[in-house]
Amino acid sequence: MVMDICINYYYCHYSFIWVCNCYKFKIENKFKIEEK
């Protein structure tokens, strides 16, 4: 279930854990991570 949302924001796609981490971080700084 959580993976689904994380995949949506797999900008920092490195590992299943990274994806989830980036997903949460992107939501807060969706404009800062957008560049990466």
Distance (Å, whole) CA 14 – CA 36: 13
Backbone angles phi, psi at 9, to 5 degrees: -120, 55
The HSE-up count of residue 33 (CA atoms within 13 Å, CB side) is 16
Note the pLDDT tens digit of each residue in 1-36. 444 445 555 455 555 555 555 555 555 555 454 545
Consecutive H or E run containing 6: helix 2-8
> pTM higher than 0.85, yes or no?
no
Answer for the pair 22, 9: CB distance below 8 angstroms, yes or no: yes
Q: How confident is the model at residue 33, as a pLDDT?
A: 46
